[in-house]
Amino acid sequence: MELNSKIFVAGHRGLVGSAILRALEEKGYTNLVYRTRAELDLLSRDRVLSFFEEEGIEYVFLAAAKVGGIVANNEYPADFIRDNILIQTNVIDAAYRNNVKKLLFLGSTCIYPKFAPQPMKEEYLLTGVLEPTNEPYAIAKIAGITMCQSYNRQYGTKYISVMPTNMYGPNDNFDLKTSHVLPALIRKFHEAKINQSPEVEVWGTGTPRREFLHSDDLADACLFLMNTYEENEIVNIGVGEDISIKELAYLIKDVVGYEGEVVFNTSAPDGTPRKLVDVTKINGLGWKATIPLEDGIKAVYETFQNEYLVRQ
């Protein structure tokens, strides 16, 4: 990408998209295009096609998606598979029809089988059954990967797919009904601290292990791959280390400064036992994550207090 290339960041207000936009601006890219949902409904094929025809987009970061944690995935499975398939189909096809030079599709590590060997290598895709709690979302993402690969094969496009591990960072979703575990725990412990609650309940046994990548690290990786990678195979993006949910809960408890008890609701679902990605490929290409988890959580908690709570 040249610094004056016309670049569309789809989903620029979300956790991932906003980080990509920040990274592009910081690196001096000047011709950035983005639209709010009110300005451009990505669920509408006609509107997306018209947008691409009018704007002359050269590069696309496809970060727009309907996302959520276990609760949201359980309650709205039809919404997750429908909306995500529509968004990615409309954007990928419009990119092809309007001669976009390159597109980067953001997938998710939930595409891997529930009991995939750990750490998860890129070649484990489609080798086993998925985690039932987020299967509709995972299938939509797998469809997006296959669509990019198929367009590359049939039309000679340059569409790459990256699989980030569990994300956190500024502009995260702190809604307890729809958020992922890390921002949900930040909010739970903060509210318990303010309300002087004697205990905080954490879903599950605390034994599942998760890997957490700061969105600024992900954005840096996405720009790196957009500028250097052109193969058809997917690329994992992660830190290569994981932590148990119990360890995470106590880490966030310390960062927030909550002094009560932590209680694990063992009747609640745990989800996938472990999710750690193999980062051999991206490390071999020349990129590594740099933000330590505790430092990242401290920064996100600051943002939560200074920005999220102020908006409420």
Kindly list the domain boundaries of the chain, sorted by start residue.
Answer: 7-172+212-239+274-292
pLDDT (tens digit per residue) in 14-65: 999 999 999 999 999 999 999 999 999 999 999 999 999 999 999 999 999 9
Binding-site positions read 11-17, 106-109, 141, 180, 188, 203, 210, 270
Q: Which residue did the predictor score with more confidence, 149 or 275?
A: 149
Q: Tell me the three state secondary structure of residue 208.
A: coil
Q: What SS3 state is found at 174?
A: coil
Q: Which residues are annotated as a binding site for NADP(+)?
A: 11-17, 106-109, 141, 180
Which amino acids are annotated catalytic? 137
pLDDT at 260: 96
Q: At residue 177, does pLDDT exceed 80?
A: no
| Residues 105-121 pLDDT 10s | 999 998 999 889 999 99
Q: At what angle do helices 245-256 and 293-303 cross, to 10 degrees?
A: 50
Distance between CA 35 and CA 42 in Å, rounded? 10
Bigger pLDDT: 89 or 73?
89
Environment class of residue 51 by beta-carbon count within 10 Å: exposed (0-12), middle (13-18) or buried (19+)? buried
CA–CA gap between residue 176 and residue 172 (Å, rounded) = 12
Q: What is the C-alpha to C-alpha distance for residues 49 and 103, in angstroms, rounded to an integer?
A: 15
pTM over 0.85: yes
Residue 119 preceded by cis peptide, ω within 30: yes
CATH 3.40.50.720 at 7-172+212-239+274-292, yes or no: yes
pLDDT score of 122 more than 70:
yes
3-class DSSP state for residue 272? coil
Residue ranges of the annotated binding site for substrate are 188, 203, 210, 270
